[in-house]
A and B are shown apart, each in its own frame.
Chain A
Amino acid sequence: MSDTFAGLANALGMAFQASSREPWPDDEFETWGRRVFAYQFETNPVYAGYARKRGVTPGSVAHWSEIPWVPASAFKAVPLVSGDPSRVQRVFRTSGTTGAGRRGEHHVLDLDLYEQSLVPNMRHHMYAGLTDVTDLANGIEVADATAPTPIFALAPGPADAPESSLSYMLGAALDVLSKGEGGFFVAPDGVIDTAGLSAVLEGATARGAPIILAGTAFAFVHWLDWLKEQSGGFDLPAGSRIMETGGFKGRSRVLERPEFYSALSEAHGVPPEAIVNEYGMTELLSQFYDGPAFATPGGAFETRRHVPPPWVRTRVLDPNTLSASPVGEPGLLCHYDLANAGSVMAVLTEDMGIAVDGGFRVLGRAQGAEPRGCSLAMDDLLSGVPS
């Protein structure tokens, strides 16, 4: 009756691969959600104890939304493994950019399941329509090009950053979706290989076939600064697209998003609708895109929204009561991600968002108008302490 991890992961992977982009019917997600919760309750005694204290057991759950979430910060507090901890294949760690302190850890039991979630999602948002951009603009998805599209990453490669889930994801994209074409242009110490990236972008421009440029917003800002200093820029082939991810949390240089996008667009000769934001976190093995590339006419921010893949559902919760926020009201994003079968599927983030048709809009980290409390928060205290 009860699942083994291998059996569950295998079934989930097949369901992900077989899935179209349409949301799964409610009863289908319900069935999967209960199955994953029952498995996690049985195999993760810490999580089971937590759920029990909250009065929830697999038998008591009437709807998937009752499955107990854990806060994202719990990944810093205890190892969250649903299954045999000795079979953990990889530990991804959060970047810990906001001062010292503990880093979040995601113990991953099955990297294949991660790939089975990330690859189709990324293919849909970043790779589809590469043979005919005009088709995509009309909402028609066409088959992959026969010639692979290279991906150039403003991030360290997976060998250099084995703890980065983003590097892993980009590595999988390079291997599977770009058939090995492309490369990584950030050294382990964070230094950008500007000369190398310039050379490949120039080469791609000469060839005339579209490419994908992907990286963290923070790295892009430094890349843009460098381009400006060199008075450099590119006119990338039509259909090229950019994936940017991550905010500027804890960083000294901050750019507003419209300013950032117009700088990206100008420096690379791509229209704003070619730029896609990926919203992801170490604690989740599925991601959200505000694409697909070229799907938002003019790339207007008002019409952009992040759409979960069918195996993820996102709730927006009132920060005070934690009940569902009314539609159109901001709240904390709480994700139920079936790809997290090996850890905990329901994760309450510190990010504010608004539910919109078929997805949500990210408003950023929950913030007050002005910090209250003359006492200090952990980050403030530790920012002055060398780590």
Chain B
Amino acid sequence: MKATFDAWWLPSSSSESPIPTPALARETIDVAKGVAVRYPVWTDDAATWLLDGLSEAGARLADAPVHDVLSGVGRVANRFLDSSDPIRSRAIDVLVPTAGISKEMASEVLTGMARDWTAERLSELLEREFPDPGVLDEFCRLDEGRTVRARGPFLTLHVGAGTVPGVSVTSMIRALLVKSAVLLKPGLGDVVLPVLFAQALAEEAPELADAVAVTYWPGGSSLLEGLALRRAEAVVAYGGDEAIASLRARTPVTARFIAYHHRLSVGLVGREALTTARAPGVARMAARAVSMFDQRGCVSPHAIYVEEGGAVDPGEWAALLASAMADLEEDLPGGHLTASEASAIHQVRGSAELREASGGGVRVFFSDESFWTVILEDDMGFEPSCLNRVVAVLPTPDLGGVAGALEEVGGHLQTVAVEGAEDRLPMLAEALSQAGATRVTSLEKSPWPPPWWHHDGASVFAGLIRWIDLEENDLEGD
């Protein structure tokens, strides 16, 4: 018996004409043993109906006070955080097979994500991003001679990556906050939360839900994708470099294009943190940073540079990290891997074992029962990880040299998590920012950036809104 998750949610009352979806053919993709994701195949008529309806709903939403959006979304967030609400347990149950993560991870990720969807956090975000969030509702006089208003698009198309569950819901919420209707195509690994979120939104704030449609299709394949790219005022795209390039090429020049392409992150451990007292705790934080999202997040470290000269040397610290990875596997088990993901790890492990056996300083730590793997390298050469809890420990004589070593991947560099080196942090951050990094944080905080973070270096709403300046007449006239 196969379990099937329907990867779409469509507004019911956004248009006077009835929903043509029952007429749409459905396709399914097997995502795990006995589990499939089903999605509609869009026809020209149905796609036009959907986009017309969303545009109308977007026009209505433009008149809604931002406070109403905030509280409607917040009510849904609270339900996902409430362990007694059946929607939370349903989400976790379906996340396990569709996202390929363990139940414990699903719970942790859902909590971490939904925390940022609460009214309090969203309010904090708006306060940080706008001099006065009222500019989203009307012209506001900010100071002498400066009267402005901000408007979002009528319709945004969101294309998700499927990497970390919940990311596309965050993207949807940000568009709703600037009062844009949303058409969201999640990645295959992230179909569950947007669909359940939209369902709950229909219960908690139907007027908002009217402006939201979620539907999966294999990237590039749907007629709806082409039509939506022509109709949306803004396109928000998460994905691999190739997917982003393809969407960018098909987005009209008049539409805003906001892209989050491939990214990678690293950790740095300074000798100040390599005392016998501190080193094990730092290893536990590193294990958590690597293992969260099974390392599939853009914030997940691929490698950890460990400074020589501390009481605990990089080799000893790699062993501590391995032991912390093994412990964490108990609390936060890894998910089910696809054949290619598992195959990649067997190749990496076996090659590292042979390098270990050939002498030099390479050492490899893993357990046959799980996929976490720690490889102590004998030089500072950075190579991207095959992911799913495979991390390199790179010994380095001085953390000051790391920024230079990362310049080659600077175009893809994102988070650098630093422990120890407290006194050197300003200098390191300066060099890392020059190498391309857009976030310098601690290992502990690295999996969960604050809601206002400059994701890949851009302000949260900068790409979504347009500012309208109302220039006042000089009444004195002389």
Which residue numbers of A lie inside 8 Å of B, CB to CB?
A: 45-50, 53-54, 69-74, 76-78, 80, 319-320, 322, 330-332, 348, 350, 352, 365-378, 380-381, 384
Contact = CB atoms under 8 A, between A and B. Distances in A.
B346 A376 contact: no
A319 B345 CA distance: 10
A8 to B, nearest CB: 22
B350 to A, nearest CB: 4
Given A78-B351, A319-B346, 19 more contacts: A49-B356, A70-B354, A71-B348, A71-B350, A74-B350, A74-B354, A77-B354, A319-B339, A320-B342, A332-B346, A350-B340, A367-B338, A367-B340, A369-B338, A372-B189, A372-B338, A373-B388, A376-B412, A378-B384
Given A368-B341, A369-B31, A374-B297, A47 B351 contact: no
Interface of B: 29-31, 100, 161-164, 187-189, 218-219, 238-242, 260, 262-265, 295-298, 300, 302, 336-344, 346-358, 383-388, 409, 412
Contacts of B263: 374-376
A374 B238 contact: yes
Contact of A53 (B163, B297, B353): B353
A372 B387 CA distance: 9
Which of A50, A69, A374, A384 is the most central at the interface, judged by chain B CB atoms within 10 Å of its CB? A374
30 contacts: A46-B354, A47-B354, A47-B357, A48-B357, A70-B350, A71-B350, A73-B350, A74-B351, A76-B351, A77-B351, A78-B354, A78-B355, A78-B358, A319-B343, A332-B339, A332-B343, A348-B350, A350-B347, A366-B338, A366-B340, A369-B29, A370-B188, A372-B296, A373-B387, A373-B388, A375-B265, A375-B298, A375-B302, A376-B263, A381-B384
Given A370-B162, A372-B162, A319 B342 contact: yes
Nearest to B189: A372
Contacts of B188: 369-370
A331 B297 CA distance: 27
Contact of B346 (A71, A80, A330, A371): A71
B345 to A, nearest CB: 9
Given A319-B339, A367-B340, A381-B384, A373 B296 contact: yes
B271 to A, nearest CB: 27
A368 B339 contact: yes
Given A53-B357, A77-B354, A366 B343 contact: yes
Contacts of B352: 77
Contacts, number: 151
A228 B351 CA distance: 44
Contact of B260 (A46, A53, A374): A374
A168 B296 CA distance: 42
A45 B300 CA distance: 37
B372 to A, nearest CB: 14
Nearest to A334: B346
A72 B187 contact: no
Contacts of A47: 354, 357
Contact of B240 (A46, A76, A367, A371): A371
Nearest to A331: B339
Contacts of B164: 374
Given A78-B355, A372-B341, A374-B298, A381 B409 contact: yes
A374 B262 contact: yes
B385 A73 contact: no
A143 B340 CA distance: 44
Nearest to B340: A366
B347 A352 contact: no
Which of B263, B300, B350 is the most central at the interface, judged by chain A CB atoms within 10 Å of its CB? B350
Contact of A352 (B339, B354, B384): B339
A254 to B, nearest CB: 14
Which of A48, A332, A369 is the most central at the interface, judged by chain B CB atoms within 10 Å of its CB? A369
Nearest to B350: A71
Nearest to B101: A372
Contacts of A331: 339
A248 to B, nearest CB: 16
Contacts of A53: 353, 356-357
Contact of B340 (A69, A365, A380): A365
A373 B295 contact: yes
Contacts of A380: 240-242, 262
A366 B339 contact: yes
Contact of B357 (A46, A72, A373): A46
Given A348-B346, A350-B343, A366-B339, A372 B163 contact: yes
A376 B340 contact: no
B339 A50 contact: no
A322 to B, nearest CB: 7
B85 to A, nearest CB: 28
A377 B343 contact: no
A376 B265 CA distance: 11
Contacts of A69: 350
A46 B269 CA distance: 32
A352 B347 CA distance: 14
A246 B263 CA distance: 32
A100 B198 CA distance: 44
B353 A378 contact: no
B301 to A, nearest CB: 10
Nearest to A330: B339
Which of B162, B339, B385 is the most central at the interface, judged by chain A CB atoms within 10 Å of its CB? B339
Nearest to A69: B350
A53 to B, nearest CB: 6
Contact of A368 (B219, B264, B338): B338
A80 B355 CA distance: 11
Contact of B241 (A73, A322, A376): A376
Nearest to A51: B357
A135 B140 CA distance: 91
Contacts of B412: 376, 381
A49 B238 contact: no
B44 to A, nearest CB: 25
Contacts of B344: 350
Contacts of B297: 374-375
A336 to B, nearest CB: 15
Contacts of B385: 375
Contact of B358 (A46, A352, A370, A377): A46
A71 B347 contact: yes
A233 B55 CA distance: 55
Contacts of B161: 374
Which of A50, A76, A320, A384 is the most central at the interface, judged by chain B CB atoms within 10 Å of its CB? A320
Contacts of B342: 319-320, 366
Contacts of B31: 369
A47 B354 CA distance: 7
- Enumerate the 10 nearest inter-chain pairs by beta-carbon distance, A residue then B residue, closest first: A49-B357, A71-B350, A368-B338, A376-B262, A366-B340, A319-B342, A77-B351, A319-B339, A71-B347, A73-B347
